[in-house]
Amino acid sequence: MGEVKLIATTQSLFCARIQWALKFKGVEYEFIEEDLRNKSPLLLESNRVYKKVPVLLHNGKSFPESLIILEYIDEVWKHNPLLPQDPSERALARFWAKFSDEKVIFGAFGACRTEGEQQEKAKEAALESLAFLEKQLEGKKFFGGEELGYLDLVVGWIPLWLGVMEEIGGIKLLEEERFPLLHEWSQNFHQIPLIKECLPPRDNLLSYFQASISYHRSLAAKKP
Amino acid sequence: MAEEVKLFGVWGSPFSRRVEIALKLKGVDYEYVEEDLSNKSPLLLKYNPVHKKVPAFVHNGKAIAESQVILEYIDETWKNSPILPKDPYGRAQARFWASFIDEKCLPALWKASWPCEDHEKVKDEAREHLKTLENELKDKKFFGGETVGLVDIVANFIAYWLPRIQKATGAELLTEEKYPKLYQWGHEFENHGVVKEKLPPSDKLIAFFKDRFESVSTSK
């Protein structure tokens, strides 16, 4: 099927979802660790518009943007489908993936990196967006149904990355009483071997978010 | 069996017009509901409870929101006159450029069209994105090749709305001189036999933007 390479970092939640997808499909790939403070010519050439990870390299072509990469993987390797077959189910999965990336991730990060009144406001918005996701799990073990699917991979940052953000930010968003389904889903998700295999060490993430959140808070403190 | 195909939109919204273009290209009959965004209908709130925005699309009782999600649904449901290529690489490319237009181009172009802080910097960013699109278009008639595709539909704002904002405000972002290919593409797009039936009335749109320009220019 042609060589597959993934330009990525171990810490990036956007890269993790691609590793999960490739493993889910049993596709062998070469992992190329990128240093984002010193971007390689390969990355700059493969993702000229955004210069970001992840980028998938396959058959001499490069594919940036994680959600687009997921769809590409699903279309090239058709066994073990990630997206549902039915168009309206596919539309729902895509809708919630977009919602998760636009509202949930940045909402949660916003709540974790701010302080005081700003944090209170951001927390409310983050909780609201998590509530929408909670609802999507009603009657299901995974977002994909009985098995893992596209949306599980997209939202798969929650168990580890959100936990770390919360710890550094000194805030709890995913409370078990409030989000029992998401809580249970998180446990089930992390039990899956191919998921666990691609998780970065928690300490690495702690350092990363410590630096990032401190930086954001110091910037905010400087503003008049 | 009577098929229910319903679209909630606004006459001037490039986003709901995208859906209309796709439906028209595929020859799909639909019921159109014009929304008043200052007084949203209960049905709109029912069909798009998360974002409460247009477009909202309903097909046989199933509601879908977000224009690009709707466009992909339409392409998968009515398979004639495809708006996405068949091959996975082509599809990934189309999705990439559609995403670039919505995430980067449109916000920058919109911001650059109206008075704002750091206006020159904002305009520079917009121009950079237009240049990227100009380079991507190369010698193709449409982004989709010989026929209108997903990227062309998503770029509708650039072809039709942007020139009218420029007429209304005197802004000069997309010019023939700086972006000859994009300019030519815009012309092809807005005159395309099917597309042109699903564009808002030009004078009405210009008047709308003139009003907006007046109110943002005078408010402090």
d(CA A131, CA A89): 20
Q: CB-CB: which of B50, B65, B96 is closest to A68?
A: B96
Q: Do A91 and B73 touch (CB under 8 A)?
A: yes
A135 to chain B: which residues are within 8 Å by CB? none
What value of ipTM does the predicted structure carry?
A: 0.96
Polymer length of chain B: 220
Residue B141 token pair:
């008639």
Where helices occur in chain A by DSSP H, the ranges are 13-24, 41-46, 66-76, 87-99, 105-113, 116-136, 150-155, 163-169, 180-191, 193-197, 202-222
- pTM score of the predicted model: 0.96
Closest approach of chain A CAs to the CA of B195, in angstroms?
Answer: 24
Among all residues of chain A, which has the CA nearest to that of B66? A95
Q: Between B106-113 and B162-169, two packed helices, what is the crossing angle to 10 degrees?
A: 10
Closest approach of chain A CAs to the CA of B129, in angstroms?
Answer: 9
Asked if the C-beta of B61 comes within 8 angstroms of chain A's C-beta atoms, the answer is no
Q: Do A91 and B70 touch (CB under 8 A)?
A: yes
What pLDDT, in 10s, does the model give residues A120-178?
999 999 999 999 999 999 999 999 999 999 999 999 999 999 999 999 999 999 999 99
Testing the interface with A: which of B19, B52, B70, B95 to mutate, by most A Cβ within 10 A?
A: B95
Q: Between A116-136 and A105-113, two packed helices, what is the crossing angle to 10 degrees?
A: 150
What pLDDT, in 10s, does the model give residues B188-218?
999 999 999 999 999 999 999 999 999 988 7
Q: Could you give the strand order of the β-sheet that contains B5-9, starting from the edge strand earlier in sequence?
A: B31-34, B5-9, B56-59, B62-65
Rounded average pLDDT over A185-193: 97
Q: How confident is the model at residue B1 (pLDDT cuts 50, 70, 90)?
A: very low
A87 to chain B: which residues are within 8 Å by CB? 73, 76-77
